[in-house]
Structure 1
Amino acid sequence: VNRNGEDFKRWIPIGPFTLQPSDIAKFALILVLAGYISKNYRKMKYFKEGVLFPALFIGVCCVLIYLENHLSCTLLVFMIGLAMMFCGGTRWQYYVAGICFVAVVAIIVISNPDVLPGYQGDRIRAWTDKAFQPLGLRWQTNNSLYAIGSGGFWGVGLGNSKQKYLYVSEPQNDFIFSIVCEELGFIGATLIIGLFGILFWRGVKIAQRCEDRFSSLVVIGIVSQVAIQTIFNILVVTDTIPNTGIALPFFSYGGTSLLMLCFEMGVVLSISRKVNTKN
């Protein structure tokens, strides 16, 4: 339960462990969309098969995750679904219409954050008004920016961060990239972003070489998840977008997230090995 009394139901307790079902839902949606698109590839240019049915799959998943009070993961799942639809053959005209609709909604929400319930509206307000509760909702964001600025070009040295001591709250989680910037500086942060870029590039290359469409779409879905989640996290810690509470893949603490990411990378490697064997 957060400070506003809102109930968060993002984890399922299993004995001494907890399970976050939304991390499993991402991979499940990737498999469902890959299977559907591969079977209906020639019909994806039509509205019914290319937009309506995939939107139903994505919508059900997004609604269930949103009911957990997990808006950031809802947006992530939505973006993964859009990426797979685009690669699956959905006409670009539908995307133009969708982007215009999303832009209008975003303008309305940013201009009137009260339309969102509870903490979600407060985070929008804290993003647009830098003086809004500086010791409350902006505490973590402000100290994240201090950490990034303190790192300079070369950083203060691995393990020498000062902001991780009670300034950046829970620095091992969503805001770990700010601590990386402080300790490793601009050089280290650029290197990490470059590694994520190489991972995405290699994933796209593997997808292009797949002989069957299902495997190709699975790889696209997985690397899109990593890429979108990385972009969202970096945008949050640099205060480019409102604080959404989204983890940095392979870096942020979290058992279910890390386990699923490693499993998904294993799937990509398995598909890659199959492609290389055939070639």
Structure 2
Amino acid sequence: MKPAKGTPDLIFLLLIFTLVLFGLVMIFSASQYTSYVQYHTVWYYFKKQFLWSILGTVTLFLALNVDYRELRRYSGILIFIAIILCLLVVFVGVEVKGAQRQLRFGSVNLSPSEVLKFAIIIFLAKHFQKNYQYITDFKKGFLPVVGIMAMADGLVLLQKDLGTILAISGTIFALLLIAGAKPSHLTGLGILGVFGVLGAIFLEEYRRKRFIGFWYLLLGDEKKLKGYEAVIYQVKQSLYAIGSGGLFGVGLGRSHQKMFYLPEQHTDFIFAIIGEELGLIGTLLVIGLFLAILYRGLKLAHRAPDIFGFFLVAGYTCMMVIPAFINIAVATGVFPVTGIPLPFISYSGSSLVINMTAAGIILNVSRHQRRRSGF
């Protein structure tokens, strides 16, 4: 069927803005005590995130109204800029959570790893378009993608950001799976990835302690946990929050854990506050929205008029959903703490703007889709 430029996919657009608006509500609720103590106003974090959401809306509609095929011309430039930013942050970055992960431009902080995630999808989409017929060939199709993954992971490892490494690697692995790479190649990569992550964990003392503490928590070994209370404190407080929410929650704005019991309550652990205030119903709503984005995004990818558009949509969909489920797994105690935000919902300007721009590109491709009906 001939591609036709038309209306962007309104269902996907609605899903994105539902998450953004929900995120604003939850950021205000989760941050009001911290905001008041730090800045003498309950509105500080809400106002900043609201401004980021306005900027994200602008970039979304800009991305929606350019020809997505033109992005191929800038893939090399974008990846070069992302690499430079990732190297700069090592030397002149702002320390966040014990690691240099952000660059400061005046009053604005930028996370280069978010820029890298965005750029790498365009770069890989172009690569897959050119080499799609070689995807089952180890040297021509598979190895170059693994090389790109290793480069990206190495840059982020310099920032001591294991969570983003998992998000990038998971997204690229998903793209290889979608592209039809050989199961044997994927299995080998998966095994290599597991050893790589374990190596990164045990080479750093703070990661090693956090992982061991998490393991004892998972096993329920209270005796061995005694030496690891500090490193598992966040997870335990997160579980208390979710557990106290029950089915319907304690009510919006009525969280007890956000009163300085749960650190990072408006950023990495906002899912726990959702569970406490809105209960199981609220958490299932969030999970359902991300599953809907995954389903709708992959459906739009299959409707894309060309291979480049297909991998853009599939890549950016995975870039939104994989970090979301890593974050949720951390908050619910089934995965070690990684320091990764919940896309569209956590307080994080760089993450919000990059994800909304990516959503704009997905919607752009949807305007050129092969026409079909149904959800």
TM-score with structure 1 length normalisation?
0.91
Inter-partner Cα distance in structure 2 for 1:204 and 1:114: 32
User: Greater relative contact order: 1 or 2 (C-alpha under 8 angstroms, separation 6 or more)?
Assistant: 2
Corresponding residue for 2:155?
A: 64
- CA gap 1:8/1:113 in 2 versus in 1, 3 angstroms: closer
Corresponding residue for 2:8?
A: none
Q: How far apart are 1:133 and its partner, in Å?
A: 4.5
Inter-partner Cα distance in structure 2 for 1:202 and 1:115: 38
- CA gap 1:256/1:213 in 2 versus in 1, 3 angstroms: same
- Provide structure 2 residue ranges, at least 5 long, that are not aligned to the other structure: 1-96, 218-224
Matching residue's letter, 2:173: L
Matching residue's letter, 1:204: L
Inter-partner Cα distance in structure 2 for 1:67 and 1:105: 14
Corresponding residue for 2:113?
A: 22
The aligned runs of 1:23-62 (5 Å cut-off) are: 23-62=114-153
Inter-partner Cα distance in structure 1 for 2:263 and 2:319: 25
Inter-partner Cα distance in structure 2 for 1:114 and 1:96: 21
Inter-partner Cα distance in structure 2 for 1:166 and 1:26: 32
Q: How far apart are 1:134 and its partner, in Å?
A: 5.5
Corresponding residue for 1:121?
A: 208
- CA gap 1:101/1:132 in 2 versus in 1, 3 angstroms: farther
- Provide structure 1 residue ranges, at least 5 long, that are not aligned to the other structure: 1-5
Matching residue's letter, 1:233: N
The SS at the match of 1:243 is coil
Corresponding residue for 2:221?
A: none
Corresponding residue for 1:3?
A: none
The SS at the match of 1:11 is strand
Match for residue 98 of structure 1 among 189, 192, 196: 189
1:274 matched to 2:368? The reply is: yes
Q: How far apart are 1:116 and its partner, in Å?
A: 2.4
Across the two proteins, how many residue pairs are aligned to each other?
Answer: 270
Say whether the 8 Å CA contact 2:305–2:370 is kept in structure 1. Answer: no
1:216 matched to 2:323? The reply is: no
The SS at the match of 2:104 is strand
Say whether the 8 Å CA contact 1:123–1:243 is kept in structure 2. Answer: yes
Q: How far apart are 1:115 and its partner, in Å?
A: 2.9
Which is worse superposed, 45-54 or 131-140?
A: 131-140
- CA gap 1:33/1:176 in 2 versus in 1, 3 angstroms: same
- Cα-to-partner distance string for 1:201-256 (whole Å, 9 max, x where unaligned): 11011000112000110110111111111110111011101111111011100111
Corresponding residue for 2:69?
A: none
Inter-partner Cα distance in structure 2 for 1:104 and 1:53: 20
Q: How far apart are 1:50 and its partner, in Å?
A: 2.3
1:194 matched to 2:288? The reply is: yes
Inter-partner Cα distance in structure 2 for 1:7 and 1:182: 28
Inter-partner Cα distance in structure 2 for 1:125 and 1:85: 31
The SS at the match of 1:68 is coil
Inter-partner Cα distance in structure 2 for 1:49 and 1:113: 28
The SS at the match of 1:9 is strand
- Identity %, equivalent residues: 34
Inter-partner Cα distance in structure 2 for 1:60 and 1:114: 19
Say whether the 8 Å CA contact 1:155–1:183 is kept in structure 2. Answer: yes
Q: How far apart are 1:191 and its partner, in Å?
A: 1.3
Say whether the 8 Å CA contact 1:126–1:132 is kept in structure 2. Answer: no
Q: How far apart are 1:274 and its partner, in Å?
A: 2.0
Matching residue's letter, 1:18: N
Say whether the 8 Å CA contact 1:159–1:183 is kept in structure 2. Answer: yes
- Cα-to-partner distance string for 1:50-96 (whole Å, 9 max, x where unaligned): 22111111111110111011111111111111111222232122112
Say whether the 8 Å CA contact 1:153–1:186 is kept in structure 2. Answer: yes
1:88 matched to 2:182? The reply is: no
Q: How far apart are 1:42 and its partner, in Å?
A: 0.5
- CA gap 1:162/1:226 in 2 versus in 1, 3 angstroms: same
Say whether the 8 Å CA contact 1:229–1:247 is kept in structure 2. Answer: yes
Corresponding residue for 1:256?
A: 350
Matching residue's letter, 1:16: S
